[in-house]
Structures are given as C-alpha cells and as structure tokens.
Structure 1
Amino acid sequence: MNPAKLEMAREFGATHTINAAEEENVAKTIKKLTGGGVDYAFECIGVGDVVAQAYNSLGKAGVAVVLGVSKPKDETTIRTLTLPSDERELKGSWFGSARPQHDFPRLLALYRGGKLKLDELITRTYSIDEAPQAFEDLKAGSNARGVIVFD
C-alpha cells in the first residue's frame, strides 16, 4: 500500500508488485497474475484480513505463513473446505521459526558474502533520544526499517 515500499521490494528482486490499496480483490488479482495462485504467501503485519488475503492467494497445495503479530482479539476467516480440497496449509511462525544455533551462522555467512541484503533495508538510524520519533515513523510506515542505535 506504500509505493516507496513497493519500489524497494522490486529493488530486492520482486518481479511483480500489487498495491493493495488500488485493488478490490487482492487474492483474485494474484491468482490471475500467477495463473492459479502462489506456492507460498507470507503475512507480515498481523492483520486478520491480510491473513485471509494471503491464504486466498494460494494455489493448490500452497502454504500461507503468518509472521505478523496481531492484536489479541483479531480474527481471520477462511473457507474450511479449501484446506483439504485444495490441500492448502495455514501456519504460524514465531520469530521466523529460527533455530539460532543452525540458522544464524548460515545467515551471517550469506550476509558477509554479499548475498543477503540487510544494510539496504535500513532506511534510517535513530539515537536513543530520537526513540519517540522512531516509533512515530514506524507507525506512519515511513521507513523500510528504522534502527535505534544505543551508544
């Protein structure tokens, strides 16, 4: 929904982007674009309606992964029959389902080898005194990633 973030997604390798604010039915658009749906969809903001969009964007045997942390009372709705009939899967992932002792050395090697772009994701750094501004910018969605630096 943020044109600047959609552009950043393209810079990081996205071949297609869709501005959800401009689409009446995001899942239908994705299914049309992909010829039947995606293999994987990731919900990263913690909103039940977006979980449903991710799930409804799946093709046969697709997996929707919920990473976003929602408000405690937020809910999502899916057509239950599609779980067995389309062999779809809806799963959660807490902190990326990481196994730190295995995953972190691999990720660090990819980063050091220039194959994992992390620095490019940081669009602004803040001092600890600028923390209130950092949180306002987070709420406004003005950064890809803001980082508070503790000196």
Structure 2
Amino acid sequence: VGATDSVNASGDPVKEIMELTGGIGVDYGFEAIGVPAVVDQAQKATRRGGTMTVVGVGKLDQKLELNALMFPLTAKTFKGSMYGGAEFKVDFPKYLELYKRGKLDLDRMVTNTYTIDEAVQAFEDLEAGKNARGVIVYD
C-alpha cells in the first residue's frame, strides 16, 4: 500500500514520524481507532498539503478540537471515511462472494466471537479496549 516504515505508538509517534521524514511529515495520515488525541497526532504527523483521514468511529458525544488556522495555513485535506467509500448495495455483495470463494480473508481480522447471549459483554469488551473486532454469531 505504499507504507515504507512503521512506528510504535506507545512513545511519541509524531516525533518519531518527523524524524523518519526529515521533519516533513507523511503524505497520508490515518486515524483508525476513534480517539480524539490520535486524530490530533495524525494531523500533526501529516505534511503540509497532505491528506489526513479519520476512519475510526468514536463515541457519539466525542468532540474533536482542531485549530481553525490549521487548514488554510497548512493546506491539509481532512476527511472521514466509512468502509473506504464503498457503495453498500453494490460492493458488499461482491465482498461476500469473494469471502465465500476464499479470495477475501476476513477471519483473521476477528479478535473474538460472542453468542447473542454475550452481546452485552461484547460491547463492554469493546468499550474497555479488550476487543478490536468482535463478532456476534447468531447460531
């Protein structure tokens, strides 16, 4: 996908990214966990004129604080993405068919499975950060 390096986010990822890029920043920054502080890190690590995309879904009451001058002064593009802009009625049947034929490996993305009786636990685990991609199975 064009990534040349990875950064361990447990330290100071913005500082590390700036060191890796000679102080320029990345062309494309992504936030994928729905945490406002990480949105801020991603936009700070994105270069002037770069594109920052929020993929993560936060809580309904979460707010983002952005500096109003950031956009005109840095010429950055800030956008959101849900399923990569897929057209649900067209694309999802295609994805399902690819999965059924073994051409799209989704199983390794599942971090835990729950029965319908465990649905409350699934959401509690998600909120507690214990489960990134849980699936409720309706068998």
Could you tell me the TM-score, scaled by structure 2's length? Answer: 0.74
> Distance in 2 between the 1:98 and 1:78 partners?
30
Higher fraction of helix = 1
- Give the counterpart of 2:108 among 120, 129, 139: 120
Q: Give the superposition deviation at 1:123.
A: 1.9
Structure 1 gap segments, 5+ residues each: 1-12
Q: What are the residue-to-residue correspondences of 1:1-151 with 2, within 5 Å?
A: 15-20=5-10, 22-23=11-12, 26-35=13-22, 36-67=24-55, 68-72=57-61, 74-78=63-67, 80=69, 82-104=70-92, 107-108=95-96, 111=99, 112=101, 114=103, 116-151=104-139
3-state SS, counterpart of residue 114 of structure 2: strand
Q: Deviations over 1:86-106 (max 9, x none)?
A: 321111234543222443355
Q: Give the superposition deviation at 1:127.
A: 0.5
Could you tell me the TM-score, scaled by structure 1's length? Answer: 0.69
Identity percentage over the alignment?
Answer: 45
CA contact (8 A) 1:60 1:86 kept: yes
Instruction: Report the RMSD for the aligned CA atoms in angstroms.
Output: 2.9
Q: Number of matched residues?
A: 134
> Distance in 1 between the 2:41 and 2:68 partners?
12
> Distance in 2 between the 1:46 and 1:149 partners?
24
